[in-house]
Structure 1
C-alpha cells in the first residue's frame, strides 16, 4: 500500500487542478483563499511524490514521465482558472505570457522530435522556476496582479526552458532526472553524474 503513495500524490495534483478550475468557473465565494490552499497542496504533492518514490526505490522512468505530464496539466488548470478570475492581468501581459508558454511548448517539440517522448529532465533550474511560478500565481490569486515577481518568473522561466532544450540536444538518448547541462555533458561522455537523493536521485 505504501508504494502507491507517489502515484496517489500525482493523481491528487491532477484532481486538485480540476477542482480549482471548477471553483473558478462557478465563482465560488472566497475563491482566492481556497485557490491558494489548493495550489499549495498541489506544489507539496509535487515535491513529495518524487522524494517518497526515491526513498521507496520505485522511481521508474514511467512514473517520472507521468509526473512531468501531470505537472503540466496541473499548471494549465491553474493558469486557466487564474485567467477566469483575473483576465485583466493576462490582457496586460499577453506578450510576455505567449513568449513564456511558447518556450515551454518548444521544449516538448524538441524532445518529441529527437526522442519521440515528452521531457522528464526534472532539472534543478526547472524546480527553482516552479517555485517562482508558484509564488507568482499565489500573488496574482491574492491581489489580482504581479509585477516584479512576474518579471522574475518570466526571465527565470525563459532561461530554464533554454537549459532544458540544451539538455535534450546534448543527450544521446532519452534520460530522466538530468540536473543540469553539465550533467548532460557528462552523460553524453558516458560518465556517471551526481544525483541528489532528495530532489534528483
Structure 2
C-alpha cells in the first residue's frame, strides 16, 4: 500500500520516467498533443512534489537533490527534443542559448568546486524561470511559437547569476534557500558568535 510520505518521491520518479519518453516521441522530428500533455504532467509533478513533501514534513535533502536531478533530466530531454523538432529555433536563439548554457554550467562548476555537490537551492527566481519554461515550451511544442524563448533565456540568466552569488556567499551547501537575501542572512548568522 502506498504511504503518503512516499508520494513526493514517486512524483520525482514520474518526472524521471516522463523525460526520456518525451525525447523518444521527438525522434521522428514531430510531436503532438501527447508530448505537450506529458510535459505538463512532468511540470505539475515538479510543483506538487515539493508542496506535498513540505506538508507531510518529508522534505529531506535526499528528496530535494533527487528533485534537482529530475529537473536536469527533464530539461536535457526537452533541449534535445527542440533540437530534433525545431532546429530553426536553436539556430535563431543560438548565441543567447549558448550564454544561458554557459551560465548554468558555471553555476554547476562553482557548486562542485566549493561544495562537491550540484546546487539545489530552489529559489524564487528558479520557480519563475520554471513557469516561463513551461509557457515557452508549451508555446513551442503546442503552437509552433518560439517568441517566449527570449523570456525563458532572460530568466535563466537572472537565476544563474543569483544562484552563483548565493553559492559564493553561503558558508556551506544547503538546499531550499529561496533568495539572495536569505543567503546573505544565513551568512550573517553563521558569522555571529
Structures share a fold, TM > 0.5? yes
Residues 65 and 120, structure 1, Cα contact 8 Å, conserved in 2: yes
SS of match in other structure, 1:189: helix
Shift of 1:157: 1.3
Aligned residues: CA RMSD: 1.3
Q: Which runs of 5+ in 2 are unaligned?
A: none
| 1:170-193 Cα deviation digits (max 9, x unpaired) | 1001111001010001101127xx
Provide the residue aligned with 2:107 in structure 1: 107
Q: Does 1:186 align with 2:191?
A: no
SS of match in other structure, 1:142: helix
Written as runs of structure 1 = structure 2, the 5 A alignment for 1:122-201 is 122-147=122-147, 149-190=148-189
Q: Which runs of 5+ in 1 are unaligned?
A: 192-201
Provide TM-score, normalisation by structure 1: 0.89
Residues 110 and 168, structure 1, Cα contact 8 Å, conserved in 2: yes
Give, in whole Å, the separation in 1 of the partners of 2:95 and 2:134: 20
90 and 27 in structure 1: CA distance in 2 versus 1, 3 angstrom threshold: closer
Spell out structure 1 runs of 4+ moving beyond 2 A: 142-145
Give, in whole Å, the separation in 1 of the partners of 2:152 and 2:5: 34
State how many pairs are aligned.
188
Residues 20 and 81, structure 1, Cα contact 8 Å, conserved in 2: yes
Provide the residue aligned with 2:84 in structure 1: 84
Written as runs of structure 1 = structure 2, the 5 A alignment for 1:22-33 is 22-27=24-29, 31-33=31-33
Residues 125 and 159, structure 2, Cα contact 8 Å, conserved in 1: yes
Give, in whole Å, the separation in 1 of the partners of 2:161 and 2:132: 17
Give, in whole Å, the separation in 1 of the partners of 2:83 and 2:38: 16
Provide the residue aligned with 1:39 in structure 2: 39
Provide the residue aligned with 2:52 in structure 1: 52
Provide the residue aligned with 2:68 in structure 1: 68
Provide TM-score, normalisation by structure 2: 0.93
Match of 1:20 among 19, 22, 39: 22
Provide the residue aligned with 1:197 in structure 2: none
| 1:8-38 Cα deviation digits (max 9, x unpaired) | 100100111111111111456xx23111111
Residues 10 and 67, structure 1, Cα contact 8 Å, conserved in 2: yes
Give, in whole Å, the separation in 2 of the partners of 1:106 and 1:81: 23
